[in-house]
Chains A and B, each alone.
Chain A
Amino acid sequence: MKTLIYYVRIYMRLAAQDIKSRMVYKVDFFFGFLGEFVINVLSFLSIVVIFQTIPQLAGWDYYELLFLYGFFHLVRMPTDIFFDKLWFLQNAVRTGDFIICYLRPLNTLFYFISGEIRLKNITALVLSVFLLIYTGNKLHISWTFLKGLCFFLMFTGSALTLLGIRIIVASTAFWVINNVFLMNFHLKLYDFSRYPISIFSKPFRFFFTYVLPFAFIAYVPVNALLKTGDVTLSWLITPLVGCGVFALACLVWTLGVRQYTGTGT
């Protein structure tokens, strides 16, 4: 039985190598950070500009919407920083590089993703934490220990939902090989979780709540915190959905890995 510490130590080693190899291209490394910064600030500014004109959007005021926005970006951080390698799964499957994961006495998913760590996303991490603290203050949320704990559980559930969806979409590479279009397509669906889902019409709301659980990535937990006030049992739905989606993702990954045959080289 391999312990957690064992995995963490291996991860540190692999991540250190990746960071070193990225630092070789210094200017590019810098531009990665700068790019993340500019992109995030601009998309944040578009909300600011819209709220110059209107006082509220579908019953959500300025600070509430910024809180939702910050929460969404914080939720995507674990996936974007530690699981970025999933974008290259189709490449690894096609070229046969993926076979190396079978030759390590480690979990295949763990070994595959640990070769890459996206430090540039730390920019977005800092920005979203700052935004959450700032807007959280303005909204005067009355924190209790229970509330904080449940909110943390909901955050974990949201992060697992997003990660699970990413793993499932990436895993399609095991069957269809070239799945870049699917990866790009599912990125667009995130827009359905960045805004209050109440702005969309019924079919969309139904679809993104019960079929593809994008509503649980940001809207449901933030809505619970800002609009219901007290902790209720419904707060536990998000963590449950997160665990469910992640379990499903692990299953899909395992099935994919089991039927992958390599390229014969």
Chain B
Amino acid sequence: MRGYIAIIRNSLISYLFFRAEFFFRTLGNLLQIFIVFYLWKAIYENSTSELNGLTFLQAFTYLSVSGTIFVMIGTMIDWEISLNIMHGDIVMILYLPLDLHIQTIVRAFGVFIFRVLFSGLPAILFIILVFKVPVAFGINLLFFLVSVFFSFLISANIDFAIGASAFSFESALGLKLIKDSIILFFSGAIVPIPFFPKPVQSVIMILPFQSMYYTPVNLLLNRQSMLNSLLLLCIQAGWIIFFVILGRMFYRKILVKLTISGG
């Protein structure tokens, strides 16, 4: 356990080192929020109140908060693992008396904390205050944070599974790009789910991606019954378990097939 805490600390500190990077990333996110705002304002320009059951403010909040969640929960796990495998550095990580899977997720967790505190929450406050978004204050804020954490675990485990599959695919870089755009599109983070045609909507509901974005936003904005909130969180937890198992399967394969040139 102490080993894992040390890893979290390290990744936090090394992240703090890149302040300029952080500043521009935050600025970029704010610009993105403005782009979403103006684009959707133009989309709602000619409609009196609602499109597909969403008002402008709902659609905007939904998309901008989703975008912020994307920034918070995104990890570089797949990229790191595939790079480590290509360069052979993975041996150094496997030498540590810690589980590779947990170790990787824990390292990403350090970055996640940093992003939530200094990038995500300020951005969400910005959205709420500047664009006057109505938020239900109460226990749902706690549910929201838990849900974002769950989304992070889903995202991290998907990334781990993809990174681990780099063994069969030499490098996971191409796969990462595909994954990112598929997740963003099918989670409704670019276009809200109600805008999709009905058949596509039902496919989206089966996929895990909407639960990474739609669930936290929903918990933030709408006051739900306790039971309903817990149910939504349980669905997320189910997806976490699913991707953990998938990741472990690939990880087994790594240990069997791993050959490092030269060492």
Interface size on B, residues (CB 8 A): 40
Q: Which residue of A lies closest to B186 (CB)?
A: A42
Within the complex, what minimum Cβ distance (angstroms) separates A38 from chain B?
Answer: 5
CB-CB < 8 A to A23: which residues of B?
Answer: none
Q: Mark A52-92, 1 if CB is under 8 A from B, else 0.
A: 11111110000000000000000000000000000000000
CB-CB < 8 A to A45: which residues of B?
Answer: 185
Q: Mark B163-199, 1 if CB is under 8 A from A, else 0.
A: 0000011110111011001101100001100011100
Interface size on A, residues (CB 8 A): 41
Contact A199-B41, Cβ < 8 Å, known A27-B170, A28-B170, A53-B52: yes
A110 to B205, CA, bound (A): 50
Q: Is the CB of B46 within 8 A of A31?
A: no
Within the complex, what minimum Cβ distance (angstroms) separates A196 from chain B?
Answer: 8
Q: Mark B117-132, 1 if CB is under 8 A from A, else 0.
A: 0000000000000000
A196 to B89, CA, bound (A): 47
Complex interface: stretch among A126-134, A140-148, A181-189: A181-189
Contact A35-B178, Cβ < 8 Å, known A54-B43, A54-B47: yes
Is B32 in the interface zone, CB < 8 Å from A? Answer: yes
Contact A181-B24, Cβ < 8 Å, known A46-B191, A54-B43, A189-B31: yes
CB-CB < 8 A to B51: which residues of A?
Answer: 53-54
Q: Is the CB of B41 within 8 A of A53?
A: no
Contact of A185 among B27, B182, B190, B195 (CB under 8 A): B27
Q: Is the CB of A49 within 8 A of B178?
A: no
Contact of B38 among A43, A181, A189, A200 (CB under 8 A): A200
Within the complex, what minimum Cβ distance (angstroms) separates A23 from chain B?
Answer: 12
Q: Mark B187-215, 1 if CB is under 8 A from A, else 0.
A: 00011000111000000000000000000
A45 to B24, CA, bound (A): 29
Contact of A53 among B24, B27, B195 (CB under 8 A): B195
Contact of B181 among A42, A178, A185 (CB under 8 A): A42
A204 to B170, CA, bound (A): 43
CB-CB < 8 A to B181: which residues of A?
Answer: 38-39, 42-43
Is A32 in the interface zone, CB < 8 Å from B? Answer: yes
Within the complex, what minimum Cβ distance (angstroms) separates A249 from chain B?
Answer: 20
CB-CB < 8 A to A176: which residues of B?
Answer: 20
CB-CB < 8 A to A38: which residues of B?
Answer: 178, 181-182
A38 to B178, CA, bound (A): 6
Is B242 in the interface zone, CB < 8 Å from A? Answer: no
Q: Which residue of A lies closest to B174 (CB)?
A: A31
CB-CB < 8 A to B178: which residues of A?
Answer: 31, 34-35, 38-39
Is B18 in the interface zone, CB < 8 Å from A? Answer: yes
Q: Is the CB of A35 within 8 A of B174?
A: yes
Q: Mark B36-72, 1 if CB is under 8 A from A, else 0.
A: 0011011101110001100000000000000000000
Q: Is the CB of B42 within 8 A of A180?
A: no
Is A201 in the interface zone, CB < 8 Å from B? Answer: yes
A35 to B181, CA, bound (A): 9
Q: Report B131-171 residues with CB < 8 Å from chain A CB.
A: 168-171
Is B35 in the interface zone, CB < 8 Å from A? Answer: yes
- Name the 6 nearest CB pairs between A and B, nearest first: A31-B174, A181-B21, A199-B42, A35-B177, A185-B24, A181-B24
Binding site for A on B (CB under 8 A): 18, 20-21, 23-25, 27-28, 31-32, 34-35, 38-39, 41-43, 45-47, 51-52, 168-171, 173-175, 177-178, 181-182, 184-185, 190-191, 195-197
A selection of 6 A-B contacts at a CB cut-off of 8 Å is: A25-B170, A43-B181, A53-B195, A180-B21, A188-B32, A195-B35
Binding site for B on A (CB under 8 A): 25, 27-28, 30-32, 34-36, 38-39, 42-43, 45-46, 49-50, 52-58, 176, 178, 180-182, 184-185, 188-189, 191-192, 195-196, 199-201, 204
